[in-house]
């Protein structure tokens, strides 16, 4: 009888069981990947807009001539940013279409005039002011 008591663990110290891993659904993984791609597109689009705008800004301030490359960078970045940031589909695709149309127009004409630079400059200032004072929507709990 004493051999049975020696083999059993004492009851006051139970053996801890490892926690079971929670199953990950495919929808959650896809949603997380989509969110990561949106963040990457926002970053790349914002960087492209900033690089293009910086060259336009320096050209406006110094009076130097620029070629179409900064404009193509600027409008391509604007299209990427709009695709990843704007929630309303009508506004999103309007911004994308306008951006791509402007980039193609600069490619077609092949030059940047003085008023083009000022339109880009003041348009960007207006866009920043608009989004700066827009309050973000709070997520609804369902």
Residue 54: what pLDDT?
A: 92
Q: How confident is the model at residue 132 (pLDDT cuts 50, 70, 90)?
A: confident
pTM to 2 decimals? Answer: 0.70
Residue 140: what pLDDT?
A: 72
Cα–Cα distance measured from residue 113 to residue 119, given in angstroms and rounded to the nearest whole number: 10
Torsion sign over Cα 124, 127, 133, 139: negative
Cα–Cα distance measured from residue 25 to residue 141, given in angstroms and rounded to the nearest whole number: 20
Q: How confident is the model at residue 134 (pLDDT cuts 50, 70, 90)?
A: confident
Which residues, 6+ apart, have CB-to-CB distance to 15 below 8 Å?
A: 9
Which of these, 100, 101, 120, 103, lies nearest to 68 by C-alpha position? 103
Cα–Cα distance measured from residue 22 to residue 7, given in angstroms and rounded to the nearest whole number: 34
Residue 28: what pLDDT?
A: 76
Residue 6: pLDDT over 60:
no
Domain map (residue ranges) of the chain: 44-132
Query: What are 42-52's pLDDT values in tens digits?
Result: 999 999 999 99
Exposure string over 81-91, b if 16+ CB within 10 A, otherwise e: bbbbebeeeee
Average pLDDT over all residues of the chain: 83
Query: What are 44-103's pLDDT values in tens digits?
Result: 999 999 999 999 889 888 888 888 999 999 999 999 999 998 888 998 999 999 999 999
């Amino acid at each position: 009888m004493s051999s049975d008591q020696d083999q059993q663990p004492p009851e006051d110290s139970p053996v801890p069981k490892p926690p079971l891993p929670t199953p990950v659904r495919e929808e959650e993984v896809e949603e997380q990947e989509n969110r990561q791609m949106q963040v990457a597109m926002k970053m790349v689009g914002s960087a492209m807009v900033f690089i293009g705008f910086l060259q336009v800004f320096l050209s406006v301030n110094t009076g130097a001539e620029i070629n179409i490359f900064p404009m193509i960078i600027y409008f391509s970045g604007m299209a990427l940013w709009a695709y990843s940031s704007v929630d309303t589909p009508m506004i999103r695709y309007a911004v994308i279409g306008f951006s791509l149309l402007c980039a193609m127009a600069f490619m077609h004409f092949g030059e940047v005039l003085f008023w083009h630079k000022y339109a880009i400059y003041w348009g960007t200032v207006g866009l920043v002011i608009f989004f700066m004072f827009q309050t973000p929507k709070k997520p609804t709990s369902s």
